[in-house]
């Protein structure tokens, strides 16, 4: 065989079939036929069901991390919302409780002020309403500071009362504030009268006995004095008006070896409010206008009437 013949002819092993274009067209047509047959006859449905059954556990396992992350996100989000709601509810509850306490306090102050105004109308002399600011820092005295002073007309020695009775006396006056010494202070004394018997005594403050009381000294052992007797101001000192409630006798100690009895009285104004009434000393009260003397009517003169002219007697 000639060499040129071997070079130009293709060996049987390397002979080519259909072209690539023809194969592509043939396979595309086959795919279209298979899809049409599957759509009509549902040939691949069992295969799809089997594949889905096999892949379902794998799909569930693959979704668990995502579900866990979503659950944790929802948990922490709900926890934060619940904490915010609880904090908001607690804040509203505290605010409502505070307002309720303020309403109760304002109601008590309103009732106290109404009683104080009624008492002010009953007092004959001039008076001024004051408000308690704070207690003094001295632990050995019992004094309070009120919000009225010299510029408001407060003078030393003025009596201080509330709706239950006498509270104390103004002892120091400053331009804007004043100090009130309570009846239970050891330096305070007040003339009192037993409302039942009419006997007069002098009560001194005793902060030690009965957690703050009044001590009636030099009371005869045989004096008609009973537990529960009401003590009022006698009005003989020129400071306190007569008839104001001071206290009630709480304890009477009669000793055989002493001719005097030790009498302790509990002040009426034990629970002091925020508002008090300051009375000017009785000696400074303006004198009431003197009544005008009643003038006697003039006597008419008994002059006989003259008969008219020409009349017969």
User: What's the confidence (pLDDT) of residue 120?
Assistant: 61
What's the pLDDT at 49?
Answer: 80
Structural domain contains residue 226:
yes
Question: Is 132 found in the same domain as 113?
Answer: no
pLDDT given for residue 296 in this prediction: 53
DSSP state of 47: H
Q: Are residues 148 and 216 in the same domain?
A: yes
206: exposed, middle or buried (Cβ count in 10 Å: 0-12, 13-18, 19+): buried
Per-residue model confidence as pLDDT tens for the chain (313 residues): 455 554 555 555 555 667 888 888 888 888 888 888 777 777 777 877 888 888 888 888 888 888 888 888 888 888 888 888 888 887 777 777 767 766 666 666 666 666 666 666 556 567 788 888 888 888 888 899 998 899 888 999 888 888 888 889 999 999 999 999 998 888 888 899 888 888 888 888 888 877 778 888 888 888 888 888 899 888 887 788 888 889 898 888 887 777 888 888 889 876 566 788 888 887 765 555 555 665 555 555 555 555 555 555 4
Specify burial of residue 42 (Cβ count, 10 A radius: 0-12, 13-18, 19+). Answer: exposed
Same domain for 276 and 209?
yes
Query: 159, exposed or middle or buried, with CB in 10 Å at 0-12, 13-18, 19+?
Result: buried
In a domain, 269, yes or no: yes
Give domain status of residue 13, yes or no: no
**Residue 192, class by beta-carbon neighbours within 10 Å (0-12 exposed, 13-18 middle, 19+ buried)?**
buried
Do residues 32 and 111 both lie within one domain? yes
Residue 92 resides in a domain: yes
CA angle 188, 194, 196 (to 5 degrees): 160
Which strand (E) or helix (H) includes residue 31? helix 20-41
The answer to the question of residue 302 being in a domain is: no
Residue located via tokens 């400071």: 239
Return the pLDDT at 313: 47
- The residue from 67, 102, 122 where one domain ends is 122
The CATH number of whichever domain residue 238 belongs to comes to 2.40.10.340
CB 119 within 8 A of CB 165: no
The rounded distance, in Å, linking the Cα atoms of 184 and 177 is: 21
| This prediction's pTM | 0.55
- How far apart are the C-alpha atoms of 190 and 244, rounded to whole Å? 11
Closest to 165 in 3D by CA, of 230, 103, 68, 221: 230
Name the one residue in this structure whose structure tokens are 């018997």. 197
Q: Are residues 131 and 280 in the same domain?
A: yes
Query: Which residue, 273, 267, 272, 271, is CA-closest to 249?
Result: 267
* CA distance linking residue 168 with residue 277, whole number of Å: 11
Give me the domain span that covers residue 96: 24-122
**Tell me, what's the pLDDT at 170?**
92
163 falls within a domain: yes
In a domain, 64, yes or no: yes
Strand, coil or helix: what is 221?
coil
Residues 98 and 211 in one domain: no
Contact predicate 245/268, CB 8 Å = yes
Count CB neighbours of 163 within 10 A. 20
Do 210 and 252 meet the contact criterion of CB atoms below 8 Å apart?
A: no
Q: Rounded distance, CA 187 to CA 179, Å?
A: 14
Number of domains in the chain: 2
| pLDDT given at position 101 | 65
Confidence (pLDDT) at 15: 54
Whether residue 58 is found in the same domain as residue 87: yes
Quote the CA–CA distance of 197 and 221 in Å, as a whole number. 15
Same domain for 117 and 133, yes or no, is no
């Amino acid at each position: 065989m000639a060499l040129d013949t071997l070079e130009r002819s293709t060996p049987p092993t390397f002979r080519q079939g259909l072209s690539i274009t023809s194969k592509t067209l043939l396979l595309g047509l086959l795919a279209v036929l298979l899809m049409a047959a599957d759509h009509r006859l549902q040939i691949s449905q069992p295969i799809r069901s089997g594949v889905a059954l096999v892949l379902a556990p794998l799909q569930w396992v693959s979704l668990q991390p995502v579900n866990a992350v979503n659950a944790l996100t929802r948990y922490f989000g709900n926890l934060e919302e619940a904490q915010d709601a609880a904090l908001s509810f607690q804040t509203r509850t505290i605010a409502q409780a505070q307002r309720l306490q303020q309403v109760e306090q304002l109601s008590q102050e309103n009732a106290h002020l109404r009683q104080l105004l009624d008492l002010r109308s009953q007092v004959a002399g001039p008076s001024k309403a004051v408000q308690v600011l704070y207690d003094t820092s001295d632990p050995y005295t019992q004094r309070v500071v009120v919000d009225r002073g010299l510029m408001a007309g407060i003078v030393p020695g003025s009596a201080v009362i509330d709706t239950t009775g006498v509270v104390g006396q103004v002892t120091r006056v400053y331009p804007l504030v004043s100090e009130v010494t309570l009846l239970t202070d050891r330096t305070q004394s007040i003339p009192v009268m037993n409302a039942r018997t009419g006997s007069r005594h002098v009560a001194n403050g005793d902060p030690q006995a009965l957690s703050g009381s009044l001590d009636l000294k030099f009371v005869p052992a045989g004096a008609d004095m009973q537990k529960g007797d009401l003590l009022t101001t006698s009005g003989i000192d020129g400071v306190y008006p007569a008839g104001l409630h001071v206290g009630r006798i709480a304890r009477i100690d009669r000793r055989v070896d002493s001719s005097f009895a030790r009498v302790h009285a509990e002040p009426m104004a034990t629970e002091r409010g925020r508002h008090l009434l300051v009375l000017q000393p009785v000696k400074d009260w303006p004198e009431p206008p003197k009544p005008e003397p009643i003038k006697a009517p003039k006597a008419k003169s008994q002059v006989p009437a003259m008969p008219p002219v020409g009349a017969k007697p």
